[in-house]
Structure 1
Amino acid sequence: MFQDSPIYDRLVAERGDIPTQVRREAERVSREVEFAMQPLLSTGPAPAPVRPVPQGSVWQRGALPPGSQGI
């Protein structure tokens, strides 16, 4: 990318080739994540967790008063 730039060459000599180091680290992390995700990808999506409904919050329809037809 900057091979013909004396400023870039000087920065690399002083500080190291940071873009190349970052690229290698990102590729390493990407491989690790891909490896870690393989068991999840092969089994398919996990079922949604079932949450228990608290007893006091369940709505139940009561009996209709006499003479009403539910309208």
Structure 2
Amino acid sequence: MFQETPIFSRLVAERGDIPAQVRGEADRIHRDLARVMPWISASGLPAGPAQDRTRW
């Protein structure tokens, strides 16, 4: 994603690889949501007819 540059390398050394940490957390949240809300498709739109889903 990012080109290796001296400033980026220095920031990673000082602060950690924040973009990689954010991607990891986003992936974890996505997996958790897919497990507890299987009726949500990958596009974020409800999968299947509305009458098949539980209404809150």
Unaligned runs of 5+ in 1: 49-71
> Post-superposition shift, 1:27?
0.5
Give the partner amino acid of 1:46. Answer: T
Give, in whole Å, the separation in 2 of the partners of 1:36 and 1:27.
14
Residue in structure 1 matched with residue 48 of structure 2 by the alignment? none
Root-mean-square deviation (Å): 1.9
Aligned residues: 44
Residue in structure 2 matched with residue 22 of structure 1 by the alignment? 22
Unaligned runs of 5+ in 2: 40-51
Give the partner amino acid of 2:18. Answer: I
Q: So what's the TM-score if we normalise by structure 1? A: 0.54
4+ residue segments displaced more than 6 Å? none
Mark the CA change 1:45 to 1:13 in structure 2 (over 3 Å): closer, same or farther.
same
> Post-superposition shift, 1:46?
2.7
Question: 1:3-32 CA distances to partner (integer Å, 9 max, x unpaired)?
Answer: 420000000000000000000000000000
Residue in structure 1 matched with residue 2 of structure 2 by the alignment? 2
% same residue: 52
